[in-house]
Chain A
Amino acid sequence: MPIFEYKELKIEVDEDGFIQKPEEWNEDIAKALATTEDVAEMSEAHWKIVYYLRDYYKKFGIAPMIRKLCKETGFSLKDIYELYPSGPAKGACKVAGLTKPTGCV
């Protein structure tokens, strides 16, 4: 497994840069991962999405339905792509420390 290094952090990630131990996630890791996602700075809007994803993940063990994420955070899918250019599943989930969704998505 590759190791992603950012400043003093060393994080075990998969080939796409998703963290391997979601339980080790913290805000510093999120900020570090955000640099790999063309997110210059984590704004309030970025954090809102991240914390929504994390709360859902704790309850259900997976990311929420994309439509649900949009509706419950109040961001359109277009907004989310502006905040996280590679989208909700690949970009936002990665920063939030979730596992990578695979399949028809």
Chain B
Amino acid sequence: MSESKLKPEELAGNIKYEPKEKDWLDPSVEFKHGVFNYSGIPKNVEYLQQPNPRKWQPTDKDWQLPENWKQIILEGLRDRLHRFRSLQIFMDICVRCGACADKCHFFLGSGDPKNMPVLRAELLRSVYRNDFTLASKLFGKFSGSRELTVDVIKEWFYYFFQCTQCRRCSVFCPYGIDTAEITLLVRELLNLIGINIDWIITPVANSFRTGNHLGIQPHGFKDSIDFAVDELEQITGIKVDAPINKKGAEILFITPSADYFGTPHYYTLLGYLALFHEIGLDYTWSSYASEGGNFGSFISHDLMKSLNAKIYAEAKRLGVKWILGGECGHMWRVIHQYMDTLNGPADFLEVPVSPVTGTRFENTRSTKMVHICEFTADLIKNNKIKLDKSRNDHRKITFHDSCNPARALGLIEEPRYIIKNVCNNFFEMPENTIKEQTFCCGSGSGLGTDENFEMRMRGGLPRANAVKFVKEKHGVNFLGCICAIDKATLPPLIDYWVGGVDVGGVHELVGNALIMNGEKERTTDLRGEPFSE
């Protein structure tokens, strides 16, 4: 959409870390273009059988809430305080120490105090105090409590959709309060009265309808995979097999649908295909579970659960032994921290064993799902693939730890081990911006929309700043990552703040370096760009 956008210097120039004049208990917010997301379209809200489908936008004065909206929210909160012991603890335990205050990328990029994780949570906590604790009865407003009003609902929408559930703040919280859970629960409460965003609702509806969040139907899925197989043949001279819905395959492979739709995701797909062929993997794609991402996890436990269920259902139907997962971000949060209790135990599967190295992935004993970086790092460690690092010599590479694999799965060293084995030029960004302290792309959890562009650029500023640092210091020209949202949203972010750095997946780099048995003389990388002399 062509529209006037703030220039980088204008945006950076108007970040002020000063308290606002108005009392923080005042909920009023201004919905200006660039800092919020459009509402879920009624057709898909209805399709998902979610409450209150209607045409509305956050800029409307009247949000057309159900008459008993307040009762719904308070009963919903009461119910969740009982169901989720974590929520009750998070509401009670925070001592407002402020350790999280300056850790949020949205606070750093906006200077808005309500983007401090502590204060964001207080927006809910103030209502909790008012309606569920003795403190407000004794101390009234002095306890930091306030009444739930329509303006509070609007304020919740504003700030809880300015959190990407990245969990960087949680790393620094001495009590381990998980802000992503608070955000998910508030979004879930809002959804009870029909407040949600389309970048979540439509992908969830698509996932139910076609198996993937982009809405690609099975014949389109096959068309895309076939195209990739043909193109890989043109690059390498080798025709690989990419079976779909193959019963009795040893392994089911699940990856984000953007890998077979978007660019630069697509080059990672070529990397997977080349690797699986080279090691002779007996695997299958699925057109039913053709999605790793789980947009349900951004808004509702129930939607998260039903979408996640497709993975095990398909593993069972196809009769595979275990499941391999691709370069996806939040999929790994759901798998590692929820799947076993949501839809497990997957006792019909076996503990994953690499058919190439014999390594038994004991760490995946409960979920039976292995991350592709663990899998590939193990192949390299056991010397099972031939790699020519010089084929990535045209790249000076840094690695962005995608939030969820790093913080939710603890996948820190494996991608680095792979990268160091497939290239000669690897440079880390500063220590407090990587690994478990990684800075978010600023567009995760459904916020990667055009209409939210300004807030995305603000939220992504700390990440972009670290990229700029290694670009200027080491000449970095490639930003590796292992998340499809990253691959979609880091390119515009980097173009905006830095420029001259390409974004791509780790398995794209693997595909560049991989020497395939019988390959023709390779002259270009998977993007068709010539190797350096």
Contacts and interface: CB of A to CB of B under 8 A. Distances in A.
A103 to B, nearest CB: 4
Given A65-B266, A102-B199, A15 B451 contact: yes
Task: Give the interface centre of A37, A62, A70, A102 by most chain B CB atoms within 10 Å.
Answer: A102
A37 B450 CA distance: 14
A99 B214 CA distance: 11
A38 B4 CA distance: 12
A105 B262 contact: yes
B236 to A, nearest CB: 16
A91 B213 CA distance: 20
B1, B41, B227: most-surrounded residue (chain A CB, <10 A): B1
A101 interface: yes
Interface string A40-79: 0000000000000000000111101111101100000100
Given A15-B38, A102-B199, A65 B1 contact: no
A17 interface: yes
B488 A105 contact: yes
B505 interface: no
Interface stretch (B253-261, B313-321, B509-517): B253-261
B211 interface: no
A69 to B, nearest CB: 9
A14 B43 CA distance: 13
A3 B263 CA distance: 32
B231 interface: yes
Q: Which size bracket describes the interface of A in this complex?
A: 20 to 34
A17 B219 CA distance: 28
A39 B57 CA distance: 28
A20 B301 CA distance: 31
A23 interface: no
A67 B263 contact: yes
A66 B38 contact: no
B202 A65 contact: no
Contacts of B2: 36-38, 85-86
A90 B256 CA distance: 20
Interface in B252-286: 256-258, 260-263, 265-266
Interface of B: 1-2, 38, 41, 55, 57, 198-199, 202-203, 206, 213-217, 219-220, 223-224, 227-228, 231, 256-258, 260-263, 265-266, 293, 295, 448, 450-451, 484-485, 487-488
Which 4 pairs of residues, A with B, have the shortest CB-CB distance? A104-B258, A104-B484, A60-B220, A66-B263
10 contacts: A61-B220, A65-B262, A67-B227, A71-B227, A102-B199, A102-B206, A104-B256, A104-B257, A104-B485, A104-B487
Given A61-B215, A67-B228, 4 more contacts: A15-B57, A38-B2, A61-B217, A65-B266
